[in-house]
Amino acid sequence: MHRYFVRLITFIAACLVGGACAAQPGARAATGPSAGAGAWSPALVDTLVRLGREDQDGRAALAQAAAAGDTATLKQSLRADSARSLWLRRVVREHGWPTRASMPDTAAHVAWLILQHSPFYEWQGEMLPTLEELAARGELPPPDLALFTDRVLVHRGQPQRYGTQFNVTGGRLVPAPIADLPRLDARRAAVGLPPVADYVRMLGEMYGLPVVWPPAP
């Protein structure tokens, strides 16, 4: 049961804090390579946007569900994340990863969101080089890459770099291990993330749970 709590609570923070969901509907990037995204039909883009709305529905309540031991809600969310991940993985293999250069920013961002919340950790790791390349070309916002990088590192059992990933433990939000904690804020600033004190305060207000900070030595 605890495994569900840990797995699902680490899906939550990235989509709702740090500006990760701030893409504006209808906006388009002016330049940049398509990385195969031009093959996405309007119908596929419409489906992607719909799945993005489904992804966000009720996600803010997951922290409370984890703290309350509501395994029914958590399992339902995990099944939904799995279904969206399977769809996106299939379409990406056929048509390439969508980019902001070839479709509305909102749609391209949804693909990142579904990947971020995927329970298929091996697929996330496989996609990290692609997202790094997109970020280097200006196709992926640096905060999104930072959030995703932390997610992959945590799932690999390695310390995160940017302090974005928290678990629910004993009814509190507890950060996953962080590398080089003294220079955390400098790394966050370099990728456009707010100071960790602001981030921690935002987490507590958003989820209504106490946040452990600083981490235990």
Domain that residue 90 falls in: 24-58+77-155
In a domain, 151, yes or no: yes
Q: Which two tokens stand for residue 116?
A: 């971020």
Reference 97, options 26, 36, 28; nearest CA is 36
In a domain, 67, yes or no: no
Please give the chain's pLDDT, 217 residues, in tens: 344 344 444 444 333 333 333 232 233 332 233 344 457 999 999 999 999 999 988 676 776 777 788 888 888 888 999 999 999 999 999 999 998 777 888 899 999 999 999 999 999 999 999 999 999 999 999 999 999 999 999 999 999 999 999 998 988 999 999 999 999 999 999 999 999 999 999 999 888 889 999 998 8
* Cβ atoms of residues 184 and 162 within 8 Å: yes
Q: Please count the structural domains in the chain.
A: 1
In a domain, 199, yes or no: no
In a domain, 178, yes or no: no
What does the DSSP assignment read for 26-71? T---SS---TTGGG--HHHHHHHHHHHHHHHTTGGGHHHHHHHT-H
In a domain, 177, yes or no: no
Q: Which two tokens stand for residue 168?
A: 């629910």
Tell me, what's the pLDDT at 196?
Answer: 98
In a domain, 123, yes or no: yes
In a domain, 87, yes or no: yes
- For residue 173, report the phi and psi dihedrals to the nearest 5 degrees: -85, 120
Tell me, what's the pLDDT at 74?
Answer: 82
pTM: 0.80
Reference 146, options 161, 129, 167; nearest CA is 161
- 166-200 b/e with 16+ CB inside 10 Å = b? bbbeeeebbbbebeeeeebbebbeebebbebeebb
